[in-house]
Amino acid sequence: AQTVTQSQPEMSVQEAETVTLSCTYDTSESDYYLFWYKQPPSRQMILVIRQEAYKQQNATENRFSVNFQKAAKSFSLKISDSQLGDAAMYFCAYRSWDNNDMRFGAGTRLTVKP
Amino acid sequence: NAGVTQTPKFQVLKTGQSMTLQCAQDMNHEYMSWYRQDPGMGLRLIHYSVGAGITDQGEVPNGYNVSRSTTEDFPLRLLSAAPSQTSVYFCASSFGDGLVLRQQYFGPGTRLTVT
């Protein structure tokens, strides 16, 4: 079964600076999807960014971008110009392309200091 | 669209009691799923459904039952609650056709405590 590992339980960043959250995964599949979700104190799960494994180009959504290294099975999230509203739990997730099996990492709690 | 809705938001049960967590979506999604979230463990898939009348087990199905009689609704049943089922439960839905990127939409969660 696929596993997702987030090795940083907590991270801290100064407002307006850049932070990178790490995620690695283990799979034998060649086609799959990767996601980063944000979970603020409201507990709502909010999609931040997504990446299809067959795409070589790294996904970007405004201040959020990923570094997808397929051979290394690495999928890190970079947050630029960090804002106070970015403070939350961030979950990395893996989903097979042909079924509903979705696996999540344990999460990284991001604190943004003013 | 209301998106994915879950009721109740909070629930306290005694060991051995039964209850149903409700989930509904109004986006005509084929796929619906139930997850539980425990501290330090991320989300784990309990059960999922690929369409009305079709359900399957996820990573941690024991102690839970599901059914899918309509596209919109996907209730999760706890037949005999145990303290180990104390958790936050999330329902999610998505489209599921071919190679379309299947972003899951999550409900707001239900915090369940079993004493």
Percent of chain B having pLDDT more than 70? 94
Q: Does B100 touch chain A (CB under 8 A)?
A: no
Output DSSP code: residue A59: P
At residue B102, the pLDDT reads: 63
- pLDDT for the residue numbered B77: 98
Between residues A41 and B10, the one the model is more confident about? B10
Does residue B64 belong to the interface with chain A, where contact is any CB pair within 8 Å? no
pLDDT of residue B59: 87
- Does the pLDDT at position B8 exceed 50? yes
Q: Tokens representing A7?
A: 């090795």
Contact B96/A at CB under 8 A: yes
User: What confidence category does residue B95 fall into, taking pLDDT thresholds of 50, 70 and 90?
Assistant: confident
Q: How large is the average pLDDT for residues B57-81?
A: 95
Residue in B closest to A41 by C-alpha: B108
Q: Could you give the strand order of the β-sheet that contains B64-66, starting from the edge strand earlier in sequence?
A: B4-7, B19-25, B76-78, B64-66
Chain A residues with CB under 8 Å of B48 CB are 100
pLDDT for residue B75 is more than 80: yes
Whether residue B99 is predicted with pLDDT greater than 50 in this model: the reply is no
Confidence band, pLDDT 50/70/90 cuts, at residue A41: confident
In chain B, % of residues over pLDDT 90: 77
Confidence of residue A67 (pLDDT cuts 50, 70, 90): very high
- Measured CA to CA, the distance from residue B79 to residue B64 in angstroms comes to 7
Least confident window among A16-20, A41-45, A54-58: A41-45
B12-46 b/e with 16+ CB inside 10 Å = b? ebeeeeeeebbbbbeeebbbbbbbbbeeeebbbbb
Q: Give the confidence band of A44 by pLDDT, cuts at 50, 70, 90.
A: confident
Tokens 């099996």 -> residue? A101
A33, A97, A102: best to mutate for the B interface, most B CBs within 10 A: A102
In this prediction, residue A74 has a pLDDT band, given cuts at 50, 70 and 90, of very high
Amino acid at A97: W
What's chain A's average pLDDT?
93
Chain A residue numbers touching B108 (CB-CB < 8 A): 42-44
Nearest-Cα distance to chain B for A109, in Å, is 10
Contact B43 A104 (CB under 8 A): yes
A33–B96 CB contact, under 8 Å: no
